[in-house]
Chain A
Amino acid sequence: MADNQSDKNAYWSANIRIVTWCLVIWAVVSFGFGILLRPMLSGIAVGGTDLGFWFAQQGSILVFLALIFFYAWRMNKLDAEHGVEED
């Protein structure tokens, strides 16, 4: 267990911050670029179509992958900083 309550709270709020940012990106690339903001991106051509179509069919999946690996790496670092990593 962590040493004291305030450090536990600091660890948890740092985690919440990371999760929140990751989920903002998650939503922007899929619901945003892939659907709602597609008309704004229609001027940017990508291989026979536009950027919004690319995000809907490929880009969002690639960003999802990057997000999960970033989160795993960042949380392992955060665990070590707060001394709550597994033995």
Chain B
Amino acid sequence: MDQFVLNWLFIGASFALYIGIAVWARAGSTSEFYAAGRGVHPITNGMATGADWMSAASFISMAGLIAFTGYDNSTFLMGWTGGYVLLALLLAPYLRKFGKFTVSEFIGDRFYSKTARMVAVICLLVASITYVIGQMQGVGIAFGRFLEVSATTGLLIGACVVFAYAVFGGMKGVTYTQVAQYVVLITAYTIPAIFISLQLTGNPIPALGMLGEHTASGEPLLQKLDGLVTELGFNSYTGHHADTLNMVLFTLSLMIGTAGLPHVIMRFFTVPTVSDARWSAGWTLVFIALLYLTAPAVGSMARLNLITTVYPDGTASAPIAYEERPDWMATWEKTGLLKYDDKNGDGLIQWYNEGSDGFAATAAERGWTGSELSVNRDILVLANPEIAGLPGWVIALVAAGGLAAALSTAAGLLLAISSAVSHDLLKGQLTPNMSEKSELMAARISMAVAIAVAVILGLNPPGFAAQTVALAFGLAAASIFPALMMGIFSKRINNRGAVAGMLAGLVTTLVYIFLHKGWLFIPDTNSFTDADPLLLTIKSTSFGAVGAMINFAVAIGVSRVTAAPPQEIVDLVESVRIPKGAGAAAADH
């Protein structure tokens, strides 16, 4: 069957499944819309949270991030999984016990301050909206590549599907669609990885294959890879080349940011009990780890495959001729994500590290005048089935998987945005007397508006869209996580301390990012660069952890010199700390 027809079949079937779920899981009350009626099984919630969390970045980009950098980018692996330990031990069970619908609602009630709630809402909206732009763009690009429609059409189709289950089903519809999306994305990710691992190492489990022997050479795979990359002037794959302080702070920022992302936290409001929230965090990490343990294996094997494709007789011999390149290279050249430029005019594909001083002499000796191949790191996962020569249905499955990853995260973010608007802004601030029925309608309208805004921003992405990750994680780490943690673990932090802490964390982090990336991300307005940052070796992407420390310090300092919280707040904290009575707290609604 034609590849194009297969792509349509797989993507069409997965979309039909999502819409079928939307029809089945309609939300009839605000509790169903915001928290799926608190009846989601912990394992089901774990799977849904896995899909909610793993975005287009995890599915498409992460293996490439590891492949082209090696050990130094292990920070992403540890950071994006280690955050779940913080979430499970420090936040999820307590916030479930509190038994309300949004993250900002906890901050508002615990710090008995509407200002605190609004600061939290603003952080939530900025983090979630910037994050959702990237997902919408991912949807458009995936459609464009696999269905040969324009990115705009692709984005609109994706938005219609999300509309179907998110507006009518709310959290309930999103939860069960995310479960289906998890199954699609994990199958799509692991099948090509298993085949590639079998081809290279004979081991069907990629994570073990990476540590095993490269069958063709008889050497351990990672040792073989280290040899190949250093022979071409690149940094060794397993070596430590990055700045250590920045690595530690970047990992910590990703961890704290993960634990503070509202669209992830709110998924834990959907399970029936406090104990379920604890188990569910574990299941979430199980489902995430299936992908995160496979990603570094995919990265190392794809890098090895690429090098041996270009240098079939070893790096000391001549590379392949452009005319003899494999078909998949030609396919991806069309997208512009893989480029060839015959700099020395010999018709061969020289690919090496042209920036390496140590390698310059060798390159000159071999008559090379620059690296001629550039490979965008985002194509590795999508091109993997073609590189490994897998059948057409695997390629179609990977396309459906990439879309599932982007759509599930987009839906989770849109839900966080719409509940902040309808529950925190409208019900909490502007029209507190709204009936449940009108709040449900308001929630649906907010969702529809949020989708429309996401589509507009996805079609006309502001220049800062690429900085999304730094911004979203920086804000979540510096403002939301510390406020939540202090709200639970301290009885002494008061309204003034919390607001001052959040603002201090938020402002210092924003200013630090702007100083390095440009004010409001306008090019050339930056005073520093990440290559030569303001403080020590701390890049702007790693500042979230520092912002969090500032938040903690300011909140504790200000609380010490101002009045202690009233007795009812102390009682609230004590009740949040023990699981007993979680059912009663939920019954308030």
Known interface pairs A34-B74, A56-B78, A58-B296; A47-B289 also in contact (CB < 8 Å): no
B300 nearest in chain A by CB position: A57
Enumerate chain B residues within 8 angstroms of A8, measured Cβ to Cβ: 574, 577-578
Enumerate chain A residues within 8 angstroms of B248, measured Cβ to Cβ: 31, 35-36
B301 at the interface (CB under 8 A from A): no
Known interface pairs A8-B578, A49-B238, A72-B275; A65-B289 also in contact (CB < 8 Å): yes
Taking CB atoms and an 8 Å cut-off, the chain A residues in 48-62 that contact chain B are 48-50, 53-54, 56-58, 60-62
A-B contact count (CB 8 A): 145
A79 to chain B, nearest CB (A): 5
For A61, give its contact among B66, B77, B274 (CB under 8 Å): B77
Known interface pairs A1-B578, A35-B247, A86-B273; A48-B223 also in contact (CB < 8 Å): yes
Residues 559-583 of chain B: 1 if any A CB is under 8 Å from the residue's CB, otherwise 0?
A: 0000000000000001101111111
Enumerate chain A residues within 8 angstroms of B238, measured Cβ to Cβ: 49-50, 53
B110 at the interface (CB under 8 A from A): no
B228 at the interface (CB under 8 A from A): no
Known interface pairs A47-B210, A84-B580; A56-B88 also in contact (CB < 8 Å): no
Most buried by B among A47, A64, A67, A76: A64
Residues 269-294 of chain B: 1 if any A CB is under 8 Å from the residue's CB, otherwise 0?
A: 00001110011011001100100110
A81 to chain B, nearest CB (A): 13
Taking CB atoms and an 8 Å cut-off, the chain A residues in 14-72 that contact chain B are 15, 19, 22-23, 26, 30-31, 34-36, 38, 46-50, 53-54, 56-58, 60-62, 64-65, 67-69, 71-72
Enumerate chain B residues within 8 angstroms of A69, measured Cβ to Cβ: 279, 282
B242 nearest in chain A by CB position: A35
B521 at the interface (CB under 8 A from A): no
CB atoms of B71 and A61 under 8 A apart: no
Enumerate chain B residues within 8 angstroms of A56, measured Cβ to Cβ: 71, 74, 77-78
Enumerate chain B residues within 8 angstroms of A2, measured Cβ to Cβ: 578, 580
Taking CB atoms and an 8 Å cut-off, the chain B residues in 251-285 that contact chain A are 251-252, 273-275, 278-279, 281-282, 285
Question: In the assembly, what is the distance between CA of A54 and CA of B208, in Å?
Answer: 11
Please choose the segment from B18-26, B79-87, B315-323, B459-467 that sits at the chain A interface, where 4 or more of its residues have CB less than 8 A away: B79-87
Enumerate chain A residues within 8 angstroms of B281, measured Cβ to Cβ: 68, 72
CB atoms of A72 and B220 under 8 A apart: no
A76 nearest in chain B by CB position: B275
Enumerate chain B residues within 8 angstroms of A86, measured Cβ to Cβ: 273-275, 579-583
Known interface pairs A8-B578, A11-B578; A23-B89 also in contact (CB < 8 Å): yes
A87 nearest in chain B by CB position: B583
Enumerate chain A residues within 8 angstroms of B223, measured Cβ to Cβ: 48-49
Enumerate chain B residues within 8 angstroms of A49, measured Cβ to Cβ: 211, 220, 222-223, 238
Most buried by B among A22, A56, A67: A56
Enumerate chain B residues within 8 angstroms of A71, measured Cβ to Cβ: 88-89, 278
Enumerate chain B residues within 8 angstroms of A57, measured Cβ to Cβ: 66, 71, 74, 77, 296
CB atoms of A47 and B211 under 8 A apart: yes
CB atoms of B583 and A61 under 8 A apart: no
B279 nearest in chain A by CB position: A72
Most buried by B among A23, A36, A69: A69
Question: In the assembly, what is the distance between CA of A62 and CA of B579, in Å?
Answer: 27
Question: In the assembly, what is the distance between CA of A26 and CA of B255, in Å?
Answer: 11
Enumerate chain B residues within 8 angstroms of A48, measured Cβ to Cβ: 211-213, 219-224
Question: In the assembly, what is the distance between CA of A2 and CA of B286, in Å?
Answer: 33
Known interface pairs A38-B240, A75-B278; A1-B289 also in contact (CB < 8 Å): no
Enumerate chain A residues within 8 angstroms of B213, measured Cβ to Cβ: 48
A66 nearest in chain B by CB position: B282
A44 to chain B, nearest CB (A): 13
B376 at the interface (CB under 8 A from A): no
CB atoms of A84 and B578 under 8 A apart: yes
Most buried by B among A11, A79, A86, A87: A86
Question: In the assembly, what is the distance between CA of A38 and CA of B282, in Å?
Answer: 27
CB atoms of B89 and A19 under 8 A apart: yes
Could you name 29 residue pairs across A and B whose Cβ atoms are closer than 8 Å?
A1-B575, A1-B580, A2-B578, A12-B577, A19-B90, A31-B252, A36-B248, A47-B221, A48-B221, A48-B224, A56-B74, A57-B74, A57-B77, A57-B296, A58-B296, A60-B81, A61-B78, A62-B293, A64-B82, A65-B285, A67-B89, A68-B285, A75-B93, A75-B278, A79-B275, A84-B580, A86-B273, A86-B275, A86-B582
Contact surface of B with A, Cβ cutoff 8 Å: 66, 71, 74, 77-78, 81-82, 84-85, 88-90, 93, 207, 210-213, 219-224, 238, 240, 244, 247-248, 251-252, 273-275, 278-279, 281-282, 285-286, 289, 292-293, 296, 574-575, 577-583
Contact surface of A with B, Cβ cutoff 8 Å: 1-2, 8, 11-12, 15, 19, 22-23, 26, 30-31, 34-36, 38, 46-50, 53-54, 56-58, 60-62, 64-65, 67-69, 71-72, 75-76, 79, 83-87
* Contacts A49-B220, A71-B278, A72-B279 supplied; 15 other A-B pairs, CB < 8 Å: A47-B210, A47-B212, A47-B221, A48-B224, A56-B74, A57-B74, A60-B78, A64-B285, A65-B285, A65-B289, A68-B85, A69-B282, A76-B278, A83-B580, A85-B579
Top 5 closest A-B pairs, CB basis? A48-B220, A47-B211, A56-B74, A48-B222, A72-B278
